[in-house]
Amino acid sequence: MLQFVNRFNYTEKNLIKLSNKEIIRSCITLIQEKKYSHSSQKQFLGSIKKFYSECFRRSIDLSVIYPSRSPRELPDILSLNEVKCLLYETKNLKHKAILTTIYGLGLRISELINLKITDIDSDRMVVFIRQAKGKKDRTIMLSDNLLKLLRDYFLKYNPKIYLFEGQKSPQYSASSIRKILMKSIEKTGITKKVKVHTLRHSFATHLLENGTDVRIIQKLLGHNNLNTTMIYTHVANSTISKIKSPLDLL
């Protein structure tokens, strides 16, 4: 809202006098200049409507420029062999531990960064993800292979508080993790569009392909809505391969 006021040098008197068309025209100009994303456009227009409603008791109809639902693209998924190749090509022990932890637990990059040593419960073979997206806690199973790798990593690097610490900071940075992934991807020859979040997508898809109930996957990922998790049913090979083509019925 402040950008709206400052960008066009509006005073309170001018704001009251603006017609709906003038408000819409100004909104369009600002959205284009700032190159707002789909979600940012919704937040911006919502703040304009609320501002006029709360301050001037005036209802502003911005539906004509309200963004339609953004197209939902299916995420790129790495196969099991591609994940294996990616981790194999990551030779540095710390880097390998970071990427393996993200994939093995299906973590968001922020969750990996905030993971503490005390969140690893090797007796119960679970990992606690605390105050993640939506301020929610959740528990994820701990893989035997991941535990072994983390023990090797711990003995060599001896982190103090956070599981993965930076050289000059208590936590590893997101940008450094992205660089690690890109360097490893270049070595593998994988041509898919791979991001750190691709490992989380692959974790969920591989669970589904292995027969894990989608509701359990929802809890492991920390999704509020099951529909968010259901997107993986569209990319799981086991789900697609079980469908019989009508051509085979001829």
Same domain membership, residue 214 and residue 127: yes
Same domain membership, residue 137 and residue 27: no
Distance between CA 133 and CA 61 in Å, rounded?
32
Same domain membership, residue 180 and residue 106: yes
Active site residues: 108, 133, 197, 200, 223, 232
Query: Looking at residue 225, what is its pLDDT?
Result: 81
- Give per-residue pLDDT as tens, 14-54: 777 888 888 888 888 888 888 887 778 888 888 888 888 88
Assess if residue 178 is contained within a domain.
yes
Same domain membership, residue 190 and residue 110: yes
Provide the residue range defining the domain that includes 184.
Answer: 80-241
Cβ pair 41, 29 in contact under 8 A = no
For residue 45, what is the enclosing H or E element? helix 38-56
Q: Which of 2-11, 227-236, 240-249 has the highest mean pLDDT?
A: 227-236
Assess if residue 232 is contained within a domain.
yes
Same domain membership, residue 92 and residue 31: no
Same domain membership, residue 92 and residue 51: no
Q: At residue 247, does pLDDT exceed 50?
A: no
Domain end among 56, 72, 95? 56
Total number of domains in the chain: 2
- Give per-residue pLDDT as tens, 167-224: 888 999 999 999 999 999 999 999 999 999 999 999 999 998 888 888 899 999 998 8
Same domain membership, residue 115 and residue 20: no
What is this structure's pTM?
0.69
Burial category of 93 from C-beta neighbours within 10 Å (exposed 0-12, middle 13-18, buried 19 and up): middle
Residue 89 sits in a domain whose CATH number is: 1.10.443.10
Same domain membership, residue 103 and residue 28: no
Same domain membership, residue 104 and residue 226: yes
Find residue 128's DSSP bridge partners. Answer: 139
